[in-house]
Structure 1
Amino acid sequence: MSDTTRTRPAAKSSRMSAALGLPNLKGNEKFLAANLIDSLGNGTMLAFQIVFFIMTTDLNAAQVGGAVTAARLISLPAPVLIGPVMDRFGARTVMTGGNVISAIAFVGFLAADQIWSVIATGLLVQVGSSMFWTAQGALVGLAAQGADRTRWFGLIRVLRNIGLGAGGALAAAALAIGGPSGLTWLVVLNAVSFAVAAWLIHTWRVSDRSPGPTAPAEAGTDGTEGGSGREAATYADVLRDRRYLTLVAANLAFVLASMVLSILLTVYVVEALDEGAWLGGVLLLINTLAVIFTQTIVTKRTERARPVTVLATAAAVNAVAFVAFSLVGAAPDGLVLAGLVAATLIFTLGEMLSAPSMSELSVTLASEAARGRYLGLFQLSWGVGMAIAPVMFMTLFDVSSTLPWLVLAGLMLVTIPLLLMLGKDRSHV
């Protein structure tokens, strides 16, 4: 077989990858696998953590729920503490350490039988996850080498949706087939898989290809050399960066928006629309499948646009979706299902537009000298948003079933001028 014949399948595969909006994966298979493992692990944890402790300890549901909530609240400042560590030792070390801590946490699940130990193991899980996601942006920049970073963020979002969905299904299957024993074996599998992910990141080396023209300097964040060699900035310097604080504030609004499907939508469907709870699950499935099959294509279509423009568009699309959700309650019975599906698809488009561009800006606008601290502050906005979303949504819902949607729509509209302000000084944002 001639060299020309052998290269045809590779060229065809490359063209297909480009058409699907996939980044160049050569040399980054370990990084990709570690991301999938983390997503699967988080998917199983979200699905079984509370059930596991209820079924394997003498604690009741209220005690377990309180312990898990306490662990999440205690872990909120973790990204801010992780930032300086990342500036000192590098992103690879932080992500590797995060996976090791997660593996230890799941081993701890097997021995936890008191409230304090459930809190301790839950705290370790949250810290491990925070370490992983705080280091994520810097390592995506290393994998992409400036060539297709936005596509990488889009692909990681696809992997996260696959992992969360598959992890939840795996947990449900383990419980249905094996009961408590099935969940115990799932915990063991999680511990092993996170240990494997730590090895993958520790041994991953980037393929030798020239950085693109917009490649960031990764000496301080690739994890291979530790610090950048420059004097690291402090959090006081980060907090004086008004542009980045504006980005963090905008991200908090998008985090709150991202919580509606998992927290608000099913409550709205059941309590306000008097429909079955199954419908909320179907709408979430529609969202998940749309992201899995179209996220990378949407990212490819928008990668030449300025990220702030894409984000402002995403905020407008989200506002439309939230207004649509609020109007479904006044629709005739025959249009409720169609209205919910349409609103969900519009919301999903907003999500697909915002996620890669926001991640891109979180790295682009971060100072190289303190990228760990910048990304730690950015990751903190995720923790805060996820913590306040339930109480915010339910408090507004108690006043009126449409009020949460209208407040979120207003929040998205207020975010648009903030985002556009970010693009005034630098053309690449």
Structure 2
Amino acid sequence: MNAALWRDRLGFPDTARRKRLVVTAAVDSLGTGLFLPLSVLYFVNVAGMDVAEVGLALSIGAGIALLGGPHTGTLIDRIGPGQMAALSCLLRTAAFLAYLGVDQFWQIIAISAVVLWGDNAFWPANSAMIIALCGREQRARWYALGRTVRSVGTGLGAALSGVIVATGSEGTRIVVLLNALSFAVVAVLLYTWREARVTTTTSGQETEDGEDSAEKRAGLRNVLADRPFLLVVASNALLAVCAMSLIVLLPLSANSLAPDAVWLPGLLFAVNGGLLMLAQGPAVRRIEASSPSRMLQASIALYAAGFATFMITPDIGGLIPILAMTAAVTLYTAGELIHPPTSVILVTDMARADLLGRYLSVNQLSWSVSHVITPAALAGLFAWNARLPWLVLLATCAATSGLLVLATRNLQPKEAVSA
């Protein structure tokens, strides 16, 4: 079997002349993985604050970052997604270097707001850049490959972080410095890659008589007036809650249903990660062969099946709860394989070419808002009743399915995004 057939079977894109996309994803995720285990503890140790203060400061910073989210799309459309991705990395380089001297509450708020704004700017810019560099027909494969590379890189970074921190008292500062360095490397890789630097979200066609139309100047107003798209953003926000639920609820549920199996959360997360890698090929081929709306409905059904399995898992000890939770994680993972790449594909199908950055940035809010509210909301529901969050998630799936039906029943793709 030749390389092209293996690549197709595994669901990988053609990476010829596009290897920098893989390298940047690997470097970025390695640095992120380094800092991830210390994201709260670093400030507790360095700034001398308690966990509650740090959590409040980071939450306020996240809220401030959300305010600028939609306007990043304007920058993406004006300066190009490649330059915006590089700029977001430079901002995060400076912010993580500033973390080395943080020692006050307001400093954590200000710097974390810059970091999170950079995060929120990078993802829509990266999605638009992939379309510009690789074409629409390769979207699912590149999004899936990026997810796989980033999962592996984040895991390796987290493991390496533990080793570095164990070397001595300066280990945490070294980790922060290395994360800043990773963002700087990605910025250099993108900015010195001419093809990425000159990418654009416009179709390259001017309006009649060379006019810069009022529609184009209106920009964000046009996006916010697109009601079907806003319904998709709302459904994506609910789906993001579903996607984030496992991180919050799996350790809690495993401890509640199988308290003696302290190894179970790690095993189930390993099952999740392994299936995401091994089943990528079949998932990508299915995504390419079907409509985005149909595949998103399938992912909702799979999420719901997983949540229902968690909810009805008996609290009887022994092997049955372990097998039931393994089945639940498998169903959830099947939904997770489909949902993230397909949701971005649906948004890019709905977007006007010259407003692609704005569409993607508004959609990014669905993830950003969910990141802020989901952990506390689900943990609070679980503290009230261990089965209540799963019931709420099932209701969330039902609401998401209804919103998607309303949003896509008369969907016609907008002007094709240029490749």
Q: Is the 8 A contact 1:151 1:299 kept in 2?
A: yes
2:294 is equivalent to residue 300 of structure 1: no
* 1:199 alignment partner AA: V
Q: 1:170 aligns with which of 160, 171, 184?
A: 160
- 1:106 aligned residue (74, 88, 96): 96
Q: Which residue of 2 aligns with 1:264?
A: 249
Q: Tell me which of 220, 226, 249 is aligned to 2:201.
A: 220
Q: Which residue number in structure 1 is paired with residue 42 of structure 2? A: 52
Distance of aligned partners of 1:168 and 1:373 in 2 relative to their CA distance in 1, 3 Å threshold:
same
Alignment partner of 1:142 out of 128, 132, 148: 132
Residue identity matched to 1:185: I
Whole-angstrom distance in 2 between the partners of 1:106 and 1:282: 32
Distance between the aligned counterparts of 1:377 and 1:363, measured in 2?
12
In 2, the alpha carbon distance for the partners of 1:203 and 1:315 equals 41
Letter in 2 for 1:79: G
> Bigger CA drift: 321-330 or 111-120?
111-120
Does the 8 A contact of 2:91 with 2:114 survive in 1? yes
Aligned to 2:400: 415
- The CA deviation at 1:272 is 5.4
> Could you say which residue in structure 2 is the equivalent of 1:34?
24
Alpha-carbon spacing, 1:192–1:221, altered in 2? closer, same or farther (3 Å): farther
Partner residue of 1:69 out of 51, 59, 68: 59
Choose the corresponding residue for 1:367, options 352, 359, 380. 352
Q: Distance in 1 between matches of 2:335 and 2:268?
A: 15
The answer to which of 413-422 and 91-100 deviates more is 413-422
Matches within 5 A, 1:3-42: 12-42=2-32
Answer yes or no: is the 8 Å Cα contact 2:293–2:408 preserved in 1. yes
Q: SS of the residue aligned with 2:170?
A: helix
Contact preservation (8 Å) 2:128, 2:201: no
Who is 1:314 aligned against? 299
CA distance in 1, matches of 2:117, 2:343: 22
**1:198 has 2:187 as partner:** yes
Structure 1 residues 19 and 192, CA gap change in structure 2 (3 angstroms): same
Matching residue within 283, 288, 291 for 2:273: 288
CA contact (8 A) 1:273 1:329 kept: no
Q: Deviations over 1:18-76 (max 9, x none)?
A: 22111111111112211222222222222112222223333333333332232222222
- 2:173 matched to which residue of 1? 184
Q: CA deviation at 1:164?
A: 2.1
Give the letter for the 2:60 counterpart: A
Deviates more, 1:43-52 or 1:356-365: 43-52
Q: Which amino acid aligns with 1:242?
A: R
The one-letter code matched in structure 1 to 2:70 is: V
- Give the CA deviation at 1:371: 1.8
Alignment length (residue pairs): 404
- Give me the whole-angstrom Cα distance separating, in 2, the residues matched to 1:172 and 1:241: 47
DSSP-derived class of the 1:147 partner:
helix
Give the Cα separation in 1 of the matches to 2:114 and 2:87: 11
CA contact (8 A) 1:362 1:375 kept: yes
Partner Cα distance (1:170, 1:233) in 2: 47
Residue 423 of structure 1: how far off its partner (Å): 4.0
**Cα 1:92/1:194, change in 2 over 3 Å:** same
Please report how far the alpha carbon of residue 273 of structure 1 lies from its aligned counterpart in structure 2 after TM superposition. 5.0
Report the CA distance shift for 1:179/1:30 in structure 2 as closer, same or farther (over 3 A): same
1: CA distance, partners of 2:361 / 2:141: 22
Runs of 5+ unmatched residues, structure 1: 1-10, 208-217
- Counterpart position of 2:208: none
Q: Is residue 8–residue 281 contact of structure 2 (8 Å, CA) maintained in 1? A: no
Distance 2:168 2:346 in 1: 44
Structure 2 match to 1:8: none
Task: Measure how far apart 1:249 and its partner are.
Answer: 1.1
Which residue, out of 379, 383, 390, partners 1:394? 379
* Structure 1: distance between partners of 2:202 and 2:160: 34
Alignment of 1:83-162 (within 5 A): 83-162=73-152
CA RMSD, 1 decimal = 2.4
Single out whichever of 264-273 and 348-357 deviates more from structure 2: 264-273
Say which is worse superposed, 96-105 or 196-205, in terms of deviation: 196-205
Instruction: Report the Cα distance in structure 2 between the residues aligned to 1:423 and 1:63, rounded to whole angstroms.
Output: 43
CA distance in 2, matches of 1:168, 1:249: 32
Distance 1:41 1:222 in 2: 34
Counterpart residue identity of residue 118, structure 1: I
Q: Percent identity?
A: 30
Is residue 75 of structure 2 the alignment partner of residue 82 of structure 1?
Answer: no
User: Is the Cα contact below 8 Å between 1:27 and 1:206 reproduced in 2?
Assistant: no
What displacement does 1:306 show?
Answer: 0.8
Distance in structure 1 (CA, Å) of the matches to 2:277 and 2:302: 19
Following the alignment from structure 2 to structure 1, what is the Cα–Cα distance between the partners of residues 248 and 203? 36
Normalization by structure 2: what TM-score? 0.89
Mark the CA change 1:26 to 1:50 in structure 2 (over 3 Å): closer, same or farther: same
Matched AA of 2:341: P
**Distance in structure 2 (CA, Å) of the matches to 1:414 and 1:128:** 31
Would you say the 8 A contact 1:43–1:163 is kept in 2?
yes
Per the alignment, residue 244 of structure 1 pairs with: 229
Q: Is the 8 A contact 1:83 1:372 kept in 2?
A: yes
Once residues 427 and 370 of structure 1 are traced to their aligned partners in structure 2, the CA distance between those partners, rounded to angstroms, is 16
Distance 1:80 1:106 in 2: 23
